[in-house]
Chains A and B, each alone.
Chain A
């Protein structure tokens, strides 16, 4: 299998040998790699891509599992394309091998918002909602280098600006009726200023559309925001002002659709609180 040998030649970027286990709702395992798919004999210019490989730990129903993996990969690819066409900042798509469970996307040189906010390095991490984070979120190739520069300075960005970008990108996405399904600060990358492409590149890139789907329902959009709130609260201390800034930008982007989402978000929060009191 060509894609299998491509993966064998690629560099896994997860820290540690173990792949991330999905929550039961995902029921698959995935590994990510840095890979090169078009190597020129005539020049050294190489552009990396990110390969995301989904597979089963155990194959209980091989054909059923294969169909499920296929559907997941196809779903993630379609959600990304829909985002691109709607002007949401996401990685471009480079290859899809749904049969092998592989999706190849544009490599984003940067750091996750989680890392930029000091959301903890490996080992000292807390669990974010129900998705496990065993990754070192640094996506630069070296990874190890210890720098004493404030990463926010290095990335020429302020916390306020990041929060504004998060809010406005989510608003664009929701206006296009795309629900992300796993909005955490690990699933947002800030491009390194040196890796900026084009004349006016977007600094913030939303990634990981593995749980994304389309929906026009206000409920789904409100829950999407609630997942983000919970992720912020559990990963970043004093997240309230940050969340406030996110919602301000979201509100601006949603314009007249904001009030219904806001009302529903309050409902969802209330339900969440009740559930945690009971459970």
Chain B
């Protein structure tokens, strides 16, 4: 887990990587319940899952996720959120197309999720305990991400197969660095993509 400071937004972002996640379906159920439940009870449920849950398989680097976080913070500060919350905006930023439900289906938690990145945007220092209370998994250092990334699916979603930048690269590490750069840059340009 690492916490980043965004003083120009007066906000912080805590990012936590979990591996060996055992309760993906349960978390998903809780998110749906929180979204549909009304009143005070609903508030409490929502508060308990007030994070962005991102399937780690589709993340190429921490910079990739940070870039989406920055996008969401910037969009929120301009009053231009395309989704309901700054947390869902992170998922929106990660998806190359402009389809909200697709973004959540692809980048959000699914029943097959076993590696999870949880992000909390908050004014005050984040409560690690709250995040850990909801995810049944192992907190892991960020470099573990390189074992989790699903490059083939990322290439498909970003339509990178056959793209010139990747074609000539024989070395796998170089190709991954290149894909990461394109993916990060795609997230960064989300607000001006046609």
Contact = CB atoms under 8 A, between A and B. Distances in A.
Given A74-B192, A93-B188, A198-B173, 4 more contacts: A2-B8, A3-B8, A37-B70, A94-B188
Contact of A87 (B8, B70, B77, B164): B164
Interface string B155-174: 00000100111111001011
A39 B77 contact: no
Interface size class of B (residues with CB under 8 A): 35 or more
A28 to B, nearest CB: 17
Interface of A: 1-3, 5-6, 9, 37-43, 47, 73-74, 77-78, 80-81, 84-87, 92-99, 104, 106, 172, 175-176, 197-200
Chain B facing A: main interface SS = helix
23 contacts: A3-B8, A37-B6, A38-B69, A39-B4, A40-B3, A77-B189, A78-B189, A78-B193, A80-B185, A84-B182, A87-B166, A92-B185, A93-B184, A93-B188, A94-B70, A94-B184, A94-B188, A95-B188, A96-B192, A172-B164, A175-B164, A198-B174, A199-B177
Interface of B: 2-9, 12, 63, 66-67, 69-71, 73-74, 77-78, 160, 163-168, 171, 173-174, 177-178, 181-182, 184-186, 188-189, 191-194
Closest 4 CB pairs of A and B: A74-B192, A87-B165, A93-B185, A93-B188
A70 B76 CA distance: 18
Given A3-B8, A40-B4, A97-B74, A84 B192 contact: no
Contact of A200 (B67, B163, B164, B174): B174
B189 A81 contact: yes
Contacts of B78: 99
Contacts of B4: 38-41
B164 A38 contact: no
Given A2-B9, A86-B165, A99-B78, A199 B3 contact: no
A85 B188 contact: no
B164 A85 contact: yes
Contacts of B167: 87
A176 B2 CA distance: 40
B8 A9 contact: yes
